[in-house]
Amino acid sequence: MKIAIAGCAGRMGRMIGAEALRVEGCTLVAGTEPEGSPDLGKDMGELAGAGPNGVRVVADPKALFQTADVVIDFTAPQATMRHAELAGARGTALVIGTTGLDGKHVEALRAAGRRSTIVHAANMSAGVNLLLGLTRQVAEILGPDYDIEIVEMHHRHKVDAPSGTALALGEAAAQGRGVKLQEAAVKVRDGVTGARQRGTIGFATLRGGDVVGDHTVIFATDGERIELTHKTSTRATFAKGAVRAALWCKGRAPGYYTMRDVLGLAEKK
């Protein structure tokens, strides 16, 4: 598989590049950074810490989709939407780990999936995707007598809150309850808020240090509490998942997929 990386000089981009160079069956063929980036023109292999491979970083995203079988994108929502348009236009597969995407963004990705293979996940980790399934199952079994709270912590530099993974866990809990997350979510508590409303799904966001990503889903009722927790200690976990998803795209029919499809955890239709 010929793999290209959008945002190839960032922390995730470099790790994905290193993983693509390491894994058998992958070739790293292109990478982009925004106009004005000091990394433009640099060798992608050197950025990934694997020695030169002769592929230079460019600014034009069209180059990714003209060269690669699959593009891996961990950038920002606006850039990801542009990449989805290019993927749909050329039929190039696109693996997306960008966070901060909302419902309108996802609809655009689904539209692109009618013409190309789109894999979108708030988190590429196998463990997190297992946690999503467990959260939905536990929420369905326990029912509304249990209050649901989702606590997440990330490093001080993260710009969006709650995290994409926390929101995905909220969606999983809402699906288990048979409700819509946008109607049940409580993302901020401040001052005198009154008693907790039955059936709501609460979020708590923590930021500090160099925490890669901690997520806990709490189910609490009178007399007992169940906590499901996942902790990530290295971003290499996400890079491995992204490259795994890229390889999974080979020969796949156009469509909008998630990491649960890649891992074989999706419910049978």
Which residues are within 8 A (CB) of 113 and not within 5 positions of it... i.e. 6 or more apart? Answer: 88, 254, 255, 256, 257
Helix (H) / strand (E) containing 203: strand 201-207
Contacts (Cβ under 8 Å, ≥6 apart) of 127: 230, 232, 237
The active-site residue out of 154, 215, 230, 240 is 154
Known catalytic membership, residue 157: no
State residue 64 phi and psi, 5-degree precision: -60, -50
Chain centroid, CA 227 distance in Å: 22
Cα dihedral 236, 237, 240, 246, rounded to 10, equals -120
- Residue spans of alpha helices (H) in 126-229: 126-142, 164-177, 181-184
Report how far apart, in Å, the C-alpha atoms of 45 and of each of 3, 57, 67, 90 are.
Answer: 13, 10, 17, 26
Q: Is residue 62 annotated as part of the catalytic site, yes or no?
A: no
- Provide the annotated active-site residues: 154, 158
